[in-house]
A and B are shown apart, each in its own frame.
Chain A
Amino acid sequence: MSELLEYSGDEMMTVAASRALADGTVCFVGIGLPSAAANLARLTHAPNVVLIYESGTIETKPDILPLSIGDGELSETALTTVSVPEMFRYWLQGGRVQVGFLGAAQLDKYANINTTVIGDYDAPKVRLPGGGGAPEIATHSGEVFITLRHSKRGFVEKLDFITSAGGQPGGDNKKRCGGKGPTKIITDLCIMEPDSQTKEFIVTSMHRGVERQQIIDNTGWGVRFAEEVTTTPEPSAHELEVLRDLHRRTKEAHAGEA
């Protein structure tokens, strides 16, 4: 650990997200930021983490990060590849997944996620791609981690559409859905966790060098801070090296495919 290490906010976010995954965890991985974090975990502190992607690949160990959820790399490095109906029925709905790892375009203070529309559903201002696997990943996984960059556009007071459900104020997620729902939001500024009473996500850890005002300015609701806010441990030299290698390999491989 060295205070002299230089790293970006994105790198801090990915490292913090990767550390949230304990070794041996069975994790259903979303594409993009969650995929980078999950594979960083596998290549550093959690060699036995089990990564599952919705294309049906189980215990996959990609050498490079996939661009899409169904890249050949995922199947070639998997223990086994099952059909998509089997993936959603037996493995996700059947309760085999401990952590669902999602990205998000937009979320609210309860970690409800919108990836469907901006504006009215029938006459949308912007039609977004939709939910894909997320609605059931959010409810059937034991718990859910969400990782995205902190911005006012992403952290909003009210969503136009709830694509996948977060915590319910005063509700019991486990009874309702089978899983606990979202338990961590990891951004490039901080880590947020739900208040045990209100279920609202509050800041529990800030990354080094981040000011409270930055988080307030980049959150679309009146964000609250825990009574005791810790400082997120910085990335180690090893973590940064492995992450940068992964991104470099990925870039080289994808450039060669065109």
Chain B
Amino acid sequence: MAKVTSLENAIRDNVNDGDIIAMEGFTHLIPFAAGHEIIRQGKRDLTLIRMTPDVIYDQLIGAGCARKLIFSWGGNPGVGSLHRLRDAVEKGWPQALELEEHSHAAMANAYEAGAAGLPCAVIKAYANTDYPKVTKTIVPMECPFTGEALVAIPSIRPDVAVIHAQKATTKGDVLIEGILGVQKEAVLAAKRAIVTVEEIVDDLGDVHPNACILPSWVVSAVAEVPRGAFPSYAHGYYSRDNKYYQDWDNIARDRDSFQAWIDENIMQSATGDAS
């Protein structure tokens, strides 16, 4: 059963140094506040997984939380490069970052395989690309029935998944609406799951029978964090702050201005108030 608790406690209880951690949200519902709490608590040596490591992972990488990144697209959407990610890969600052690089199709399949309790995902992917030369976990195989050329990749089974959603009940059942990304798969693939929500309600009300709901008993901790996805958006609550993403380009370009920003906006700011 999910423990309804504070963000600070949810991260403290469920994220350890050295963990494999997946923070998902496909442009929508990105768990920024939870990421900031991980930085604030000084977590180290994390293996970070995310299909689209955007600004939140740039912040975690620049703050020295990450040892390895498993990903498929690392950029600032609609703006350009992630300068902290680039600095880590190109110059090893603040520390070297090991990369395991896939395509979106492969990552999405690997999450689904993890949720399904499978050790690997089997896909039609990477034909005539250079990915298999640099990513050793892409292994060619033949279909045992037809001989068709396929590839296998390991499933994603994180220690902990972190997502943001619109609503949870006081019991801890979670409702996700709008662009769903891979959040359901990430939660079901992980050993533990943390969900931040816009609001905790007594009852989810009149939702569609096919709505995306994660029952309380697949979630470890739920924390109410209004605007917890800011500067990304929460369908039905607030829209994306495009200016934040544009401004980030300048802040992150320089190590000093980045560190000043982290100090001012995260380290000296109270939990859940990092926006």
Partners in one complex: yes
Hey, which chain A residues are within 8 Å of B52, CB to CB? Answer: 132
- In the assembled complex, how far is the CB of residue A104 from the closest CB belonging to chain B, in whole angstroms? 14
Q: Is B94's beta carbon under 8 Å from chain A?
A: no
- 1/0 per residue, CB under 8 A from B, across A67-105: the answer is 111111011000001111101110011000000000000
Contact A71 B27 (CB under 8 A): yes
Contact A257 B242 (CB under 8 A): yes
Q: Among the interface residues A70, A81, A92, which one has the most CB atoms of the partner chain B within 10 A?
A: A70
Contact A88 B105 (CB under 8 A): yes
| Closest residue on chain A to residue B180 by CB atoms | A83
Hey, which chain A residues are within 8 Å of B26, CB to CB? Answer: 55-56, 69-70, 84
- In the assembled complex, how far is the CB of residue A172 from the closest CB belonging to chain B, in whole angstroms? 12
Hey, which chain A residues are within 8 Å of B111, CB to CB? Answer: 85
Known: A67-B242, A71-B27, A165-B127. A129 touches B103 (CB 8 A): no
In the complex, A124 Cα to B28 Cα: how many Å?
A: 30
Contact A129 B109 (CB under 8 A): no
Interface size class of A (residues with CB under 8 A): 35 or more
In the complex, A92 Cα to B125 Cα: how many Å?
A: 11
Known: A72-B235, A72-B239, A89-B112. A127 touches B181 (CB 8 A): no
Contact A75 B78 (CB under 8 A): no
- In the assembled complex, how far is the CB of residue B70 from the closest CB belonging to chain A, in whole angstroms? 12
In the complex, A168 Cα to B185 Cα: how many Å?
A: 36
Hey, which chain A residues are within 8 Å of B241, CB to CB? Answer: 257-258
Contact B242 A177 (CB under 8 A): no
- In the assembled complex, how far is the CB of residue B151 from the closest CB belonging to chain A, in whole angstroms? 11
Contact B104 A168 (CB under 8 A): no
| Closest residue on chain B to residue A110 by CB atoms | B128
- 1/0 per residue, CB under 8 A from B, across A136-180: the answer is 100110000000000000000000011111001000000011100
- In the assembled complex, how far is the CB of residue B109 from the closest CB belonging to chain A, in whole angstroms? 6
Hey, which chain B residues are within 8 Å of A54, CB to CB? Answer: 104
| Closest residue on chain A to residue B212 by CB atoms | A83
Hey, which chain A residues are within 8 Å of B133, CB to CB? Answer: 121
Contact B180 A68 (CB under 8 A): no
Q: Is B191's beta carbon under 8 Å from chain A?
A: no
Hey, which chain B residues are within 8 Å of A178, CB to CB? Answer: 124
> Which B247-274 residues sit within 8 Å CB-CB of chain A?
none
Q: Is A134's beta carbon under 8 Å from chain B?
A: yes
In the complex, A124 Cα to B81 Cα: how many Å?
A: 14
Known: A135-B129, A165-B128, A258-B243. A83 touches B185 (CB 8 A): yes
Q: Is A130's beta carbon under 8 Å from chain B?
A: yes
Contact A130 B27 (CB under 8 A): no
| Closest residue on chain B to residue A124 by CB atoms | B90
Known: A130-B71, A139-B128, A164-B129. 10 other contacts (CB 8 A): A31-B77, A55-B181, A70-B27, A81-B179, A82-B180, A85-B185, A125-B90, A140-B124, A258-B242, A258-B246
A-B contact pairs, 14 of them (CB 8 A): A31-B78, A57-B179, A70-B26, A72-B235, A75-B178, A83-B180, A93-B123, A126-B90, A130-B71, A136-B103, A163-B130, A165-B127, A258-B241, A258-B246
